[in-house]
Amino acid sequence: MKPLVLLDVDGVLNPTGHPTPDFRRYQCTVDGHAYTVHLNPRHGPRLMELALRTGAELVWATTWEEHANEWIAPRLGLPSLPVVALGRDRGSEHGEMFKTRYVADHVGRRPFVWFDDQVYQEDDDYLRAHQGLTDFLLVHVPAARGLTSEHLARASEWLTLTGFSQGF
């Protein structure tokens, strides 16, 4: 089974803190609302490299949903990616964030790495207990700084050491 690399946008690719000079500022309009996003164009090639080197498939796991393919992917040099369909916030059972149930439905039994600024122990617990999933790595990305080389290296190491990248 090909592993997945799930990507959030806000807080991960679009940090909430003061962006460093390697980020570019963009204005976009989604469903009539104007947004300012700061994106690092190096993230796209580095994510593609991670996917190619490990045999993983990149997937959006963001409230931007399909808008990430319209506004984020082209500015990072990414192709159109599959999207985890998010429904309404159904609350939580044990403190997990609302996206966690939708991510679990999307991944099925496939191994995955999930980059998000809102994943915590409660999300890990939910996935292990309620979905029976064990082959995943949640990478908490501090929202103020966003995705770093260390986060990418951690994902690469996990995918490689666990053997999910073999045979691709």
What is the DSSP annotation of 17-69? Answer: S---TT-EEEEEEETTEEEEEEE-TTHHHHHHHHHHHHT-EEEE-STTTTHII
Phi, psi of 58 (to 5 degrees): -80, 140
pLDDT at 12: 98
pLDDT tens for the 168 residues of the chain, in order = 899 999 999 999 999 999 999 999 999 999 999 999 999 999 999 999 999 999 999 999 999 999 999 999 999 999 999 999 998 887 777 789 999 999 999 998 899 999 999 999 999 999 988 767 779 999 999 999 999 999 999 999 999 987 765 544
Structure pTM? 0.94
**For the chain, give me the number of helices (H) and strands (E)?**
6, 6
**Domain 4-161, what fold?**
Rossmann fold (3.40.50)
